[in-house]
Structure 1
Amino acid sequence: MGFELPDRSVLPRHPVIVGDEPRQSGSGAMFCHLYPANGQPTGEVAGAGAADVDAAVAAARAAQPAWRAMNGDARRDLLLRYAAVLKQHAQELAALETLGNGSPVMMAGYAPMVAAQRFEYYAGWADKLRGQTLSAWNNPAHNYVDYEPYGVVGAVIPWNGPVFAAAMLLAPVLAAGNCVVIKAPELAPYSVMRMGELFLEAGFPPGVVNMLAGGPEVGAAIVGHADVDKVAFIGSGGTARKVLQSAAENLTPCCLELGGKSAVIVFEDADLAQAGQMGLSGAISVSGQGCVNGTRVLVQRSIYDQYLAVMQQIAGHIPVGDPLDPGTVMGPVISEASVQRILGIVGKAREEGARVLTGGQRLDGEYADGFYLPLTIIADVDPASSLSRHEVFGPVLAVTPFDSEEEAIALANGTDYGLGAYIHTRDLRRAHSVANQMQAGMIHVNASGEGMQPFAPFGGMKQSGFGRLGGEQGLLEFLQTRNVWMNLKAPQ
């Protein structure tokens, strides 16, 4: 197993794209990207700075009137053309995603195709924006509602799935008639840098999409910019608090998609083989580094030991290895700092009396230079413990028994998060009843992620954020509602 870096000549070279000008360096600091599989640098990126943010926002502002005025069918055709370009470059984008964050190419290969679906879906909305006619009381009038794009949207996305995250935001933002300044994450910049280049190759007007690669200071400059009309942020709750504080200076509205501690509830009548496999997926997918991943498993006591045995058996057959190997299912986590933080969480769980059934130690040998952790199952986790209540963002599952349906619901809702929930049962009444009581924005029954479709709204409750991405709700998120009252009363 080589863990070799791909040919560096294929890396995108433009960390700054402002208007129609791709630049090979920005005005900000240099940053070095490390390949998570072997800890080696892929190269240094001359990132954006405050001057680039000003230029990008100005370019977006200048381009927005024409983009807003463009006929919906013309915007539709450009979005469809971009979707086709993403498909043409799917293999390249998948490799850049793998290089960026260590996602196995088996999984990363889906990202460009799923991203293309987002653009295809919202292309269908671009020529169908519709208002509403309202009845007028008291006086004859024509009273109607229509929609207006915000103008310039500032977008900040995470490193754990940048191709999908970028598409999830950009497709509705652009379909609604906004222009955008998006920051590529410094821990995994390459795939979004390439997506920015592809907008120009697809023929988008200059300034409609502006891309800046850089660190937190670039995101802060975008969020706090007085000429940004709306902020769209995907990331952690801690950073979101800073986003809100900065946006508050200009009363800039925000859409926030944040973290989660999604519960997987396994009732005694569930299909254990299916529920076991799907229960593990929260720790396997992107090595557990996903906001909506189910990483807190609640199991009815009557099947608790049996279910743990099923999970252990499946876990022993999950291939971990080189992300560029098509047979790899689990790759590394993002950084050395993440390795140490996650091991500290596991150590604390041990001290608190939980049982580590699988994993719990850093992988060594041929994996020693990379940021590798195995799939870790921790049983008998106290619902009040830190492991049960807080996001790990790593390949760690916390498993807790419950006795009754009511207890399961209370435990599932017993955190500050409310992004996802997963319910496993054959009882249709129970499925509907429990889903109806979940304090979460996305709920799966006997499934493990299939619901994140372009036509379905996605977002959180409580400290998992506010606003929605996906579906018609995702389009309306980036439109402002306007009421027009036209007096038709005859002059006296």
Structure 2
Amino acid sequence: MPTTEPTRGPDTELPSGLLIGGDRVTRTAAGTHEHIYPATGRPNATITLAGPAEMDLAVASGREAQREWMSFTVDRRRDLLIDLADAVRENMIALSGLNVHDYAVPTSLSVNTILLERFLRHFAGYVDKPHGHITPAAGSTDLDLIEREPYGVVGVIAPWNGALVVAASCVAPALAAGNAVVFKPSVLAPMAALRFGELCVAAGLPPGLVNVVPAHADGGDALVRHPGIRKIHFTGGGDTARRILTSAAVNLTPVVAELGGKSANLIFADADLDAAAQLAAYQGPIVQSGQSCACASRILVHESIYDAFLAKFIPVVEAATIGDPLDPTVVFGPVISARDADRIVGVIDRAVAERSGELLTGGKRLGGELIEGYYIQPTVFGNVDNTSDLARIETFGPVVSVLKFRDEAEAIRIANDSPYGLNAFVQTNDLTRAHRVARQLEAGSVWINQISDMSPQAPYGGYKQSGYGRTGGLDGLYEFLQVKSIRIAMS
């Protein structure tokens, strides 16, 4: 398949300027970033960067827009969010195309815009619902009004592999709660987020209510340290989270963190092996080329079905269609950068050298017509030692480990023997076991016989080093509301 630049039709014009106060900003002291399309290794856009001065403008613009937003009736705010959901639906093809241009996720999997519309519609429904309550004061006839109020201007920091997912899970409830948002997507994948910001203005939201500001580390640090930012939601890696927490401590700014994972997928002897093999392949090395915090990179298989499972699983992995992400038949694309490709191959090579497991398939960069892109074969190791780096450190690439377990207790012990706890997966046809095991797994979400599928109705977030706080559901809405008590004397 030719490694040409992605086709740019009228629906895939690539936005590049910051969005502050409803206006595009194309020149800043912070300069620009040359965006590389991972499928070809060649530039496809030049992205304007935000520095401290632009963060000041974004926060000031957000503060003004937030006051206007809260002056609207709840009916008007609800309807404007529904209008924004309509705009997302009308521009779904363009937004999906920008996902592909951003990080070369295959078109066949670029469905984040559907998630965005769902979250917007769901949280629009909460705008006009009560969030507080009234309680009597102990030892008194007074009343306490317990209210939930917006923070004001919040910062939302998204990773390169899911800007529209974060727009759905964080920006939507932040707006519904009454906040303005300074949205910082990764410079590696900013274009879908920039277009989303433009849709916010076009849908009638006050200009500046959603400002979109791609930035390097200095700009991001200026956002986190800004005294006008009242809360931060960060999605990304643990090392970056530690730096954000240090910077946020300057103003004691509260931070919500959704971090990485090394999720276990437990496959019991009574599972449907054909379905389990398909799910393990998709949720493991295939979807987003394993570049997902939800990746089930540790596959735990009961010893009685280990060989039978591999006999079904390996062919599914090897059958994945690899190639140009714009080809609708392709399901497996490149990793995000040359640096990450080298890093992931290094993980594979070290695992082979250290005999962490048996390399069953994959393990190399792809050449031929794909040589200029950052393609790595879907890679599976068998009989992996759960104490090895291969099983404990998040690879964030198309590499999975298959491990054996003897019984339910050992499966749970191995699954929980990890510093992470974002997701866990269980494949079984025994409903009692499903309930029993799910309650013992140290993970924020447990998925039974299905892939990770975020829903606006349900909370999502991690245990342990996978972070804290939640997105989705009432828990996700309450992350963007602060509590106030108002006591009224009645005598």
2: CA distance between counterparts of 1:233 and 1:363?
33
Give me the whole-angstrom Cα distance separating, in 2, the residues matched to 1:14 and 1:358. Answer: 39
Residue number among 291, 297, 303 corresponding to 2:293 in the alignment: 291
Partner of 1:387: 390
What SS is found at the alignment partner of 1:185?
coil
Aligned to 2:447: 444
SS state at 1:483 partner: strand
CA shift, 1:49, in A, is 1.5
Q: Distance in 2 between matches of 1:7 and 1:315?
A: 31
Q: Distance in 1 between matches of 2:272 and 2:167?
A: 36
Once residues 366 and 475 of structure 1 are traced to their aligned partners in structure 2, the CA distance between those partners, rounded to angstroms, is: 47
Given that 1:27 and 1:52 are in contact with CA atoms closer than 8 Å, whether structure 2 keeps it comes out as: no
CA contact (8 A) 2:22 2:198 kept: no
Unpaired runs of at least 5, structure 1: none
Query: 353, 378, 381: which one pairs with 1:378?
Result: 381
Shift of residue 14, structure 1, vs aligned partner? 4.6
Q: CA deviation at 1:416?
A: 0.7
Whether contact under 8 Å (2:148, 2:481) holds in the other structure is: yes
Task: Tell me what 2:363 maps to.
Answer: 360
CA contact (8 A) 1:15 1:26 kept: no
Aligned to 2:419: 416
1:427 maps to which of 420, 424, 430: 430
Counterparts of 1:27-426 in structure 2 under 5 Å?
Answer: 27-108=29-110, 110-281=111-282, 282-353=284-355, 354-426=357-429
| Aligned equivalents of 2:351, 2:187: Cα separation in 1 | 31
Q: 1:38-93 CA distances to partner (integer Å, 9 max, x unpaired)?
A: 10110322222111111001111122222223222111111111111111111111
Residue aligning to 1:3: 3
- Secondary structure, in 3 states, of the residue corresponding to 2:360? strand
Asked if 2 retains the 8 angstrom alpha-carbon contact of 1:419 and 1:441, the reply is yes
Q: Which amino acid aligns with 1:276?
A: A
The AA in structure 2 aligned to 1:240 is A
* 8 Å Cα contact 1:332/1:372 also seen in 2: yes
Distance 2:59 2:34 in 1: 26
SS in 2 for 1:437: coil
Q: Greater CA deviation, 232-241 or 129-138?
A: 129-138
161-170 vs 268-277, which deviates more? 161-170
Return 5+ residue gaps in structure 2 as ranges. Answer: none
Closer, same or farther in 2 for the Cα pair 1:27/1:13, shift >3 Å? farther
Partner of 2:484: 482
Asked if 1 retains the 8 angstrom alpha-carbon contact of 2:261 and 2:423, the reply is yes
Residue equivalent to 1:466: 468
Q: What is the distance in 1 between the residues matched to 2:9 and 2:52?
A: 28
Q: How many residues align?
A: 487
Structure 1 distance, partners of 2:473, 2:466, is: 19
2:226 is aligned with what amino acid? H
Aligned partner of residue 170 in structure 1, secondary structure: helix
Distance 1:413 1:80 in 2: 41
Retained in 1: the 8 A contact 2:62–2:211?
Answer: yes
**Paired residue type of 2:3:** F
Query: Distance between the aligned counterparts of 2:389 and 2:245, measured in 1?
Result: 25
How far apart, CA to CA, are the structure 2 residues paired with 1:287 and 1:14?
26
AA aligned opposite 1:32: E
C-alpha distance after superposition, 1:139-184 (max 9, x if no partner):
2122231101011101110111211222211100000000011112
Is the partner of 1:444 in helix, strand or coil?
strand
Counterpart contact for 1:14–1:25, Cα < 8 Å:
no
Deviations 1:353-394 (A, max 9, x none): 211111001111011000001111110110100011110000
* TM-score (structure 2 length as normaliser): 0.97
1:2 positional shift: 3.0
Equivalent position amino acid for 1:134 in 2: T
- CA distance in 2 between partners of 1:226 and 1:162 (Å): 25
2:206 partner letter: P
Corresponding position of 1:20: 22
> Do 2:68 and 2:206's aligned partners in 1 also have CA atoms closer than 8 Å?
no
SS for the counterpart of 2:214 is: strand
Letter in 1 for 2:452: G
What root-mean-square deviation, in Å, do the aligned CA atoms of Structure 1 and Structure 2 show?
A: 1.3
Measure the CA separation in 1 of the matches of 2:131 and 2:42: 51
Contact map agreement 2:183 2:212 (CA 8 A) in 1:
yes
User: Once the 2 structures are TM-superposed, how far is the Cα of residue 29 of structure 1 from its aligned partner?
Assistant: 2.2
